[in-house]
């Protein structure tokens, strides 16, 4: 019997499919009897030291087994004397994430025509209908750094330098992925993410894929799709690539690790041919979809090691 982690944290990254996953978690928590702890705070990802201590205390005293979810940058429980929980997360292509957020803030999703007005009531009309190409090419704050440095801080943590685009935050984020996260999946391969979550955390995610594929659930999930999205010009996209080079380096690192994990457990990728990397990246040998001969490792031993971290 594999160890059963009784404390799981999903510090969900905005606009990376988290509302779809939370819909699934609500069903799963009733089905499997675990405590789903959610937060109504959506716009406070960076916390003071006292706020970190208070949140960790509140999470740690929740009825176990629990799965806590909130948009919040990585919290180091052990720093404040707590037991480090099992972390999970999902990310997506950084430009696609940015575009989804840009139009969602302005126009909401299919759940209601006025959804966006409730979410951003103070947004001026000229800002709401600002052309995405103008925003990017004329260096509006919303389309420039540090606003574009968004995914890495969720994995880097609460240190002030985690919000500064650069190598320090990137490397710390990679280290945390390796040492503190059971799984970081990519949204473009969500079904495989769910399959692995069911394998690693069956007490929480058993039957998740069958629920996800249920037509009634898919109908609910479609309501969370952002409306009125448009594609920027190739010139504007290339500018975004250049501004988000650290985000892309992190994304490709996570993607490669995710594919290695899939191969370890015999999952083959059935995905569309990926777009070529931006020119500032050096090609990696791990991008191939060919099987990689890893040293065999006992799967259950590997999971036990993860749970003991």
Local structure of 58: helix, strand or coil: helix
Query: Which tokens hold the place of 42?
Result: 């959506």
Task: Return the closest-CA partner of residue 21 out of 266, 201, 289.
Answer: 201
HSE toward the beta carbon, residue 173, CA cutoff 13 A:
31
The answer to whether 186 touches 193, Cβ cutoff 8 Å, is yes
The sign of the CA dihedral 47, 56, 17, 190 is positive
The answer to whether 154 and 45 have CB atoms below 8 angstroms apart is yes
| Partners of 226 in the β-ladder | 109
Q: Which of 32, 42, 71, 259 is catalytic?
A: 71
Is 159 in a helix, a strand, or coil? coil
CA-closest candidate to residue 244, choices 146, 161, 169: 146
Residue 208's contacts (CB-CB under 8 Å, 6 or more residues apart) are: 24, 28, 194, 197, 198
Three-point CA angle 286, 290, 291, nearest 5°? 95
Q: What is the Cβ-side half-sphere exposure of residue 209, based on CA atoms within 13 angstroms?
A: 12
Indicate the burial class of 170 (C-beta count within 10 angstroms; 0-12, 13-18, 19 or more). buried
Per the annotation, the verdict on 71 as an active-site residue is yes
The residues annotated with a catalytic role in the active site are 71
């Amino acid at each position: 019997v594999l160890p059963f982690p009784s404390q799981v944290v999903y510090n969900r990254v905005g606009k990376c499919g988290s509302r779809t996953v939370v819909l699934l978690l609500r069903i799963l928590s009733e089905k499997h009897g675990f405590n789903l702890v959610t937060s109504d705070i959506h716009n406070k990802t960076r916390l003071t030291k006292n706020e970190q201590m208070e949140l960790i205390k509140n999470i740690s005293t929740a009825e176990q087994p629990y799965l806590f979810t909130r948009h919040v940058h990585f919290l180091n429980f052990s720093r404040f004397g707590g037991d480090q929980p099992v972390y999970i997360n999902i990310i997506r292509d950084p430009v696609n994430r940015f575009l989804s957020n840009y139009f969602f803030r302005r126009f909401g999703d299919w759940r209601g025509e006025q959804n966006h007005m409730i979410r951003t009531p103070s947004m001026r009309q000229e800002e709401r209908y600002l052309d995405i190409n103008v925003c990017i090419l004329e260096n509006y704050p919303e389309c420039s750094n540090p606003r574009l440095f968004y995914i890495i801080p969720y994995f880097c943590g609460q240190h002030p330098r985690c919000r500064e685009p650069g190598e320090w935050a990137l490397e710390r984020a990679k280290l945390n992925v390796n040492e503190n996260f059971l799984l970081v999946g990519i949204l473009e391969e969500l079904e495989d993410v769910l399959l692995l979550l069911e394998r690693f955390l069956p007490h929480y995610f058993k039957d998740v894929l069958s629920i996800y594929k249920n037509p009634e659930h898919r109908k609910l999930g479609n309501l969370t799709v952002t409306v009125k999205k448009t594609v920027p010009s190739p010139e504007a996209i290339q500018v975004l690539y250049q501004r988000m080079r650290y985000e892309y380096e992190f994304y490709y690192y996570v993607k490669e690790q995710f594919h290695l994990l899939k191969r370890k457990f015999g999952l083959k990728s059935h995905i569309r041919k990926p777009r070529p990397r931006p020119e500032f990246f050096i090609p990696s040998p791990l991008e191939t979809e060919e099987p990689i001969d890893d040293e065999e490792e006992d799967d259950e031993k590997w999971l036990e090691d993860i749970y003991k971290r």
